[in-house]
Amino acid sequence: MVSQSQQPPSPPPPPPEPTSISSLTDDLLREIFLRLPDLPTLVRAAFTCRPFLCLVRCSPAFRRRFRELHAPPLLALFLTPYMDAVIPSASRSPDPDTTAAFADLLGDDDATEWGTDSQIPYYDGYVAFVNPSTDQTASYSPLNIGAPAQALDIYPKTPREGIDAWLEFYTLPPDQEGQRPSRVVCVRHDRSWARARVAVFSSHAMKWQIFPESRGLLLERDRRTIRKLVDGFVCWLQSENCILALNTVTFQFSRMNLPPPLRGPYTYMYRTPRFELGQTKDGKLCIVHVQEFTLSVWLWTPDDDGVERFMLHKMFQLHTIVKEITKRSVLDNVDAGGHMNVTDGFVYLSVVYDKGKQSSKWFLSFCLETAEVKLLFEKTCSIYCPVDPYIMAWPPSLMHDKGDSETEVARDTVGDDGPVGTEEASPVLFTALQLFKEALIDDDNAKFVEMDAFLLDDEISSLLNKISTLEAGLAAGRDCVLRRGAHSNINVEGMERRSWWEMCKGMLGRVSSHFFAN
C-alpha cells in the first residue's frame, strides 16, 4: 500500500492561452477604444470589421464616455468673407494636399442658376446664394458650428405684396441614444417676430407636422440676430435683455433673460459686448463672455428657488495667457475675444494686436473644464476677419446598427482614397424641402401661393444641386485632412500601401498593450 506522501506529483497546469484581440470581451474592447487618441482613429478602428462596428454602434454609454474624454476634432478654420481655409495642423508647415483640400468651395458652375454672393459670399458660418433670374436669395450653413446641424434660410422674392417673412430650416441629427430620428425644423416668422409658426419633418414618418401659430413673442425692429442650435434649443438673440428659445422637444417658444452684466445695447457686427451661446462638455447651455481679458461662463441652470436662469459658473483670467502668446509685457492695443465660438466645452477665440495698417492675429482654443489653451495658428492681416471652425461631428453611421451584413461594412470601410464612412444630414433636408410644399397644400390651400413666393419646384432642385456641390467639396477636404492625419500619426514608411485593417490592428495592439501594462 502506497502512502499518501509517496504518491507521484500531479502534472503542472497547462500554460495559459495567449491573449489576442479576438479573445477580448466587449467591455475590455470598449475600454481599449476609449484610449484611442481621437474620433477619426475610432472611426477607422470601428470600420475594420463587423464586430468592432457593432460594438460602437450598440452602446450609447460608450459614445457618451468617448465624447467626454476626447475633444471634438477641429478639421479647419474658415475665414470670412471668401471661406479661405486654414488647417491648424498644417499651418506651420503647409502641405499642398491639405491646404488645397478646401479650395474653390464657393466656385460657380453652369449646372445651376444659383450662385454665391459676389460681395459677401460667406459670413458667420452661412454661404449666401443668389438667383439673379428670379431675384431669390438663400443662406446655407454647411459647417458643424456649435452643433452637427445644417441650417438653411430662404427669403421671399421681391417685390411680393403681403409677405414680410422668411423660412429658417434646421437639421437635427438623431440623438446619441437613438430615441429620436433625424428631423428638420422649419420656423416661419415675420421680421418683427410678432408671430411665428413651426413645422417638423421626421425621417421616420417621412412627413411634416405643422404646429399652431404662436403670437406676441418679441416685438423687435428688423436687424440681424445671433442664433444657434444648442442643447435642445434653437436660440435667437433679438433683444438687449433676453433670448428667444425654441425647445426642439416640445416645440414651444420661451424667453431666457440675459445675466444683468450682459444686458444693454450691442452691435452685432462687432459683437459688443462679446458673448457667445454654446454648450459645455456635458451638453449644458451656456454663455461665454469676454471683457478686459476676463472670460466668464454662465450656465442655464435652476437657482436656489428652482427657477432656471443663467448663473455665473466660472471666471478665467487671460492676462498671462495673452502675454505668453503675443510676447508682449504690456497689453496695449491687444484685444482678446474678438470672435468666438463655443462648442462642446471648448471656446475658439482670437487675440488681436492692432498696430495700424497691419494687425497680428492669434487663434486659440480654450478648454472650459481644464483651462488648457492651444495656439491653433497665427496670421497677419489688414482687415477684420472672423473665423468659423469646422468641427467633425459624431458620425451617424456609428450611432445606429443598420444591419450586420458584410457588404454594408465593406461599403462604409475607410480606404486609402475613400470617405470616412460618415453620413451627411443633407439628404434629410433635401427630402423635407421637396415635401414641404405638399405639406402646405394639405394644411391650407391658401398657403400654396405663399410657398411660390419662396421657391418653385425647379428652383428647389437647382438650389439643392448647389448645396450638394458645396458639401461634396467639404467632404473631400475633410477626408483629405483625416487621411493625411492618419498617416502622420502612424509615421511608418510605405503605410499608404497597407490596408486600413493592418494599420488599425497595429494601433489597437499598441493601445491594448499599454492598457494591460497599467
Which pLDDT tens digit goes with each residue over 427-437?
888 899 888 87
- Please state, for a pLDDT cut of 70, what percent of the chain lies above it: 72
Q: Which amino acid is at 449?
A: V
Contacts with 479 (C-beta within 8 Å, 6 or more apart), sequence order = 418, 419, 420
Please tell me the predicted confidence (pLDDT) of residue 153: 92
Give me the sheet containing 253-257, strands edge to edge. Answer: 226-230, 233-237, 242-247, 253-257
Report residue 140's pLDDT band, with 50, 70 and 90 as the boundaries. very high
* Region 120-130 average pLDDT: 88
Q: Where are the beta strands (DSSP E) in 326-439?
A: 334-343, 346-355, 358-367, 373-381, 387-391
Report residue 34's pLDDT band, with 50, 70 and 90 as the boundaries. very high
E strand or H helix at 28 = helix 26-34
* Region 65-74 average pLDDT: 81
Please tell me the predicted confidence (pLDDT) of residue 310: 94
Check residues 110 and 235 and name the one with the higher pLDDT. 235
Q: Is the pTM of this model over 0.95?
A: no
Rounded mean pLDDT of the chain?
Answer: 77
